[in-house]
Amino acid sequence: MKKAFSLSLLSLALIGSASAAKIQVWTTFEGPELAWLKGQAADFKKKTGNDVDIVSVTFGTVQDKFIQGAPRGQAADLLATQPHDRLGTFAAAGVLEPMDKYVTNRTDINKVGLDAMTYRGKLFGLPMFAESVALIYNKDLVKTAPTTWDQLIKTAQANTGNGKFGFLTELDNAYINYGIINAYGGYVFKNNGGTLNTKDVGVGNAGSAKAMQLLNDLRYKYNLVPEGVTGDAINGAFLDGKLAMRIGGPWNMGDIKKAGINYGIAPLPTPPGATGKWSPFVGVQGVMMNAYSKQKAVAAAFAKSLVQADAQVAFNKAGGRIPISKAAVVKLKSDPVVAGFNKTISMGTAMPNIPEMGAVWGPWTAAVQQSTAKPNPDIQKILDSTVKEINSNIK
């Protein structure tokens, strides 16, 4: 039987029919997004009679504060929101309540959101919004996005020269370029039916090596990405109208809109000879519940109200986040940012949410940097050393 998140006015009324309760929510939201959350709390009180205390906590401190405080009764009932790559650490510490039993319906939620919020077979958060990278292009320079790799290269080369660039990406960034790695069959940990096998590290397999070679070719074969190009340099070139195509995310769109760039958003074409389609990393944020909460029914009702389609549309209007709710995406279909990134998010792969990922980023990033720093590197040797280091870190 299919399930989807839904919460009727009747169920809200039933929640409020008992004696009024008070819950606390810790949030890292600021500005209009914080105002949205407070508005949701006020609406919830009107419908149910239950109070929601919104408390601002800094992003850098909330994880430790929650893990240490929850068992002592010194943490909020809900976290709204936290990124899913922290979920494994929270869950392993025993401070998160599985949300499966509070869910009545799942059909409205993008599958990648459910994947991201699932740890060891249990749903530990209600996904609310997501992000991934995409091909962002200047329509005044490139009328339509290339749909094949050959088109990408030819279009990029035609727009390169005389202080202008056809295509740029942060070649040394494993996160940004994961879609290419994944397309060739590379991975971080092997996914066996939703369980990540930390004994099977795929950043050094044959597919990952092919991906590193392609990234190297973008610099030294096709001469598209100069040495030393940084994220800031890419941003500046695109905003100045000197860059035709780039890899970027929703976080770049505010400045692009302010600059008046006539932009388009599309998936990166399938890399040459790849066994799969380009599938970027997806980051998801969701609402998580304190396993020690004494008001779980009320907390769950408020959490579910936050991920409803209308609430997510309002949240998008407040801060531009890309909703996980399929119905919200439909309501926002005229927004090119939502439409564009929803497509790449739906094509994407949730970043690993297990604590062992902390052992990966450092060595993996160094490997990508070494693989793109000079022509003809010994890529397999670099990756073999990286896997060895990652396995040693995990042990």
pLDDT at residue 18, rounded to an integer: 52
Same-domain status, 138 and 247 = yes
Q: Are residues 33 and 68 in the same domain?
A: yes
171 and 311 part of one domain: no
Q: Output the pLDDT for position 102.
A: 87
Q: Are strands 322-323 and 122-123 parallel, antiparallel or unpaired?
A: unpaired
The boundaries of the domain holding residue 23 are 9-131+282-350
In a domain? residue 1: no
The bridge status of strand 243-248 relative to strand 134-138 is antiparallel
Torsion of CA 273, 224, 243, 208, to 10 degrees: 40
pLDDT value for 7: 44
Lowest mean pLDDT, pick from 9-13, 78-82, 308-312:
9-13
pLDDT (mean) for 122-150: 97
**Contact by Cβ (8 Å): 329, 54:** no
Whether 2 is in a domain gets the answer no
Residue 253 lies in a domain: yes
* Residue 129 or 105, more confident: 129
Spatial CA neighbour of 286 closest among 99, 125, 136:
125
**Pairing state between β 281-289 and 126-131:** antiparallel
Percent of the chain at pLDDT above 70? 95
Same domain, 19 and 100: yes
Q: What is the CATH number of the domain that holds 216?
A: 3.40.190.10
Q: Does residue 49 form part of some domain?
A: yes
Section 89-116 average pLDDT: 92
Q: Does residue 365 share a domain with residue 343?
A: no
Q: What is the predicted pLDDT for the residue at 194?
A: 80
pLDDT one-digit tens code per residue, 338-389: 999 999 999 999 999 999 999 999 999 999 999 999 999 999 999 999 999 9
Confidence of residue 8 (pLDDT cuts 50, 70, 90): very low
pLDDT band at 103 (very low <50, low <70, confident <90, very high): confident
Mean pLDDT, the chain, rounded, equals 94
Q: How many domains does the chain have?
A: 2
Which one is predicted more confidently, 193 or 238?
Answer: 238
Domain-embedded: residue 4: no
Q: Is residue 3 part of a domain?
A: no
Higher pLDDT, 11 or 79: 79
Bigger pLDDT: 18 or 148?
148
Question: Taking 50 as the threshold, does the pLDDT of residue 6 lie above it?
Answer: no
118 and 19, same structural domain?
Answer: yes
* ω into 81 cis (within 30 of 0): yes
Higher pLDDT, residue 3 or 125 = 125
Q: How confident is the model at residue 193 (pLDDT cuts 50, 70, 90)?
A: confident
Tokens of 148: 């094949």
Structure tokens at 29: 């939201």
127 lies in some domain: yes
pLDDT at 20: 86
Q: 3-state secondary structure string, the chain?
A: CCCECCCCHHHHHHHHHCCCCEEEEEECCCHHHHHHHHHHHHHHHHHHCCEEEEEECCHHHHHHHHHHHHHHCCCCCEEEEEEHHHHHHHHHCCCECCCHHHCCCECCECHHHHHHCEECCEECCEEEEEECCEEEEECCCCCCCCCCHHHHHHHHHHCCECCEEEEECCCCCCCCCHHHHHHCCCCCEEEECCEEEEEEECCCCHHHHHHHHHHHHHHHCCCCCCCCCCHHHHHHHHHCCCEEEEEECHHHHHHHHHCCCCEEEECCCCCCCCCCCCCCEEEEEEEEEECCCCCHHHHHHHHHHHCCHHHHHHHHHHHCCEECEHHHHHHCCCCHHHHHHHHHHHHCEECCCCHHHHHCHHHHHHHHHHHCCCCCCCHHHHHHHHHHHHHHHHC
pLDDT in tens, 240-252: 999 999 999 999 9
Structure tokens at 382: 């670099």
Q: How confident is the model at residue 258 (pLDDT cuts 50, 70, 90)?
A: very high
* End position of a domain, from candidates 331, 350, 369: 350
Domain identity same for 59 and 108: yes
Question: Do 233 and 327 share a domain, yes or no?
Answer: no
pLDDT at 104: 73
Same domain, 69 and 190: no
| 195-201 and 122-123 beta bridge pairing | unpaired
Residues 206, 318, single domain; the answer is no
What pTM was estimated for this model as a whole?
Answer: 0.91
Shared-domain flag, residues 274 and 191: yes
Dist. CA 80–CA 291, nearest whole Å: 15
* One domain, residues 252 and 226: yes
Using the predicted structure, report yes or no on whether residue 4 has a pLDDT greater than 80. no
